[in-house]
Structures are given as C-alpha cells and as structure tokens.
Chain A
Amino acid sequence: MKRLYNSPDTVVSEALEGMALTHPELLRLAHDPTYVARVDAPVADRVAVVSGGGSGHEPMHVGFVGPGMLSAACPGELFTSPTADQVEAAVRAVDAGAGTVLVVKNYSGDVMNFEMAAELLAADGVETETVLVADDVAVEDSTYTSGRRGVGATVLVEKVCGAAAARGDSLAQVAELGRRVAARSRSLGFALRAGTVPATGRRSFELPDDEIEFGVGIHGEPGRERRPMEPVDALVDRAMAAICADFDPGVLTGEVLLFVTGLGSATPLECSIVARRAVRELDRRGLRVARNLVGSYMTSLDMLGVSLTVLVLDEQLAELWDAPVHTAALRWGA
C-alpha cells in the first residue's frame, strides 16, 4: 500500500527531524540515544515529567513536549517501547534536581525499560516516581495477565502532571495527581480497519467489510470481540456502556472530561459525530461533560477507528486541565 514514506526504516527518524525542524523554539532532538526535550529544560526548581513509548501513536508523545506538559519524550521504534538508555538520557537532560515523574503505559516492554532506567538513575541519586496508566476496559484486569493496557488516559495524565509540575508541586504531589487521573479514567476503542505496517506495507489485521474490532488496542492488538458493523451511534453507545460499567460504584458522578481520539484515519467529521453521541450518552446518564478534547491525539498509524476516554473530574483536576499548555499538538493559554 502506498504511503508518504521514503523507506520503512527511516519513518521514525525522519519524522522526528521534521518535528524538530518545524518547532525549533520548543523542541530539542537528541541522538544516541534518541529523545526529544523542551529547549528550556531543565527548568529550575520544577519537577520534570517524562514519557515515551513506541512510535506510531503521534502526536503522542513528542507532540506533548513543552511548557505545561512533558519535559521530554522518548520515542521507540514503531510500536516498540523505548530502551532504558533513552529514558535514562532523557531524564538526565531534563531533571532539575526536583525529581522526575515517569508516565508509563502498562505494556511489559514499557514498564520494564522505564523500570531499568529508574534503577540506573536511582543508583546515581536521581529521584523518579512512576505513574502507570492502565485504563483500557477492553482487557480484563486480573493477576493472571499483565493487566490492562494504557491508552487515552495517558494524554490526560501527561497534561495534569505537566500542569502540576509547572505550578511547582513536589515530586510526590505531581505523581499523586497523575495516579489520580489514571485511577479515575476508563477507555475503550474500536476499529473498522487496521493500520498499515510500514515494514510490510500490509494492514496489521484484516477485517471483513461487515465487521469491526471492538476493544482494539493501539498496536492493533485484538480487542474484546469482533462484532458486526453498526451505525456509529450504536458503537459509541456500546463503548460508553462498557466504560461506565467499569468504574467502581459511586465514582462516576458529577462532572467528567470526555476525550475522543481518532486512531489515525478518522476524519474530523467522524470525530465530531462520535463526540456528539458520546456527550449525549453521558448526559443521558446524568453526567456533565464539563471538559472535552476531540481530535486525533493518540493514534495507531492509519487505523480507522476511535478511542473514547472518560475521566471523572474534581476541582483540582479541572483546574490543572485548564492550566496553560504550549506543545506542538496541544496548546492553550499560552
């Protein structure tokens, strides 16, 4: 399948060069090992926030580096977690002595490589706190698995931690807020078509024309089930039901933040249509969508689908959400 690449091997490195070339006032790209840091890091007396993960989910994470969000991001190969080296180097570059929060999506590879980096840093007196994101209700959480996958809530955790760090919160406080976001978020995604793997030029899975993958992962992992295709409102209702049913009793009340992300090929028209139904569906359940974010912020190459995330807000989280942010992909108040 034709794509806008030069060669499968250079996709990640060329895209990073493009990001650095078009955001010189914001980003600094380091090589060997690869990471992307705020140009003005380390920021004195402030906790740093570092995330990372496999590439192919852009703008996450590099697009979220900048004042009010990430201090640095470590992009791995396509769909492959970054190496411990990358994480270690990024933290060393941005840590100002106040410690660093590591935002980690719950995949074995990510967890282990960040953990190794944290060990190496600790041995050297650099303090880190890890916030693990595991919000995907499509995967059952049990001690017999590696737990749930981290998806959309990652973006929300990064925003809130970045805002808390910017206002001067301590390492423990920033981490606690990140964990609070992670704990109060639930997500589910569905795909009508898989993404195209650059190395092979083929889709990572094939779906018949009348079926969808419900509960899909952002690396094209299979989800809860293959289901018949339905009008999008029905799919949104189904996703919302799964998300809402998963919150602990009593948690899902009051004001929520709705995050709708296209997974790569969903058009803005489609994202808006999904958001329309999701807002109405939450409304019908007596919840107020006090904040929302709609667009393609966490993707899976060119997958056709969306992922929905609901975060139960409190005053503090709403305030941190509203705080200024200036990154390539998310910007307000600055």
Chain B
Amino acid sequence: MIRAQVIVRPRASIFDPQGDAVGRAIQHLGVSKLKQAHVGKFIELELEGDDVEAVRGQLETICKDLLSNPVIEDYVLTINGKEDLTGLAASAAKLAKRSPKAKKEKA
C-alpha cells in the first residue's frame, strides 16, 4: 500500500483570515508569545499497490488541480513518509523555511 500525505498552506503573501482569527483566539487564551498562526489542510491518501513512481505524477496533478488552489495556496506532497523519512523531513524544512525567506524576498 502507498500512503501519501499532503499539506496545503496559504501562500506566504496571501491574506489568511482563518489563521488571523485562530491566532487572536490563541492569544486570548493566554499564549501571549504567539506572533502568527496559519491554517491549512492536511490530506492523507491511501492507494493500492507499491509502485510509488507509477503514481507520483498523478498525485502531483491531483495536488495541483484538486487539493490546492494554486492561486492562493502552496502544497507539499510526501509519499510513503513512513519508510522514507527524508521526504517528510524535507517537506518540513521547506515549510519552515518559507516564511522567513518570503519575508526576505519582500524586503
């Protein structure tokens, strides 16, 4: 079985009202150190078979066309993250890096 995980996140320059509202709520609950919150989606897919390469292209397309809205969102796809931790690690790093980088681009 193949397991794929997709994280969809509002693009860095795009307003994220949901993140804002959640951030305000968290601050209200006493976490005064919170600077920012973003809310995205987490999608898990299970597919039959083992041939990761055979489905990778299809899954990328699905991420682009269905699971995310490229106009306002970015996504990270990880396939078989359990066996292949580097994938998930890379995703995490990518996600983590984006924000400061985005800010740098802007400045």
Same assembly: no
Residues of B participating in the A interface, judged by any CB pair closer than 8 Å:
none
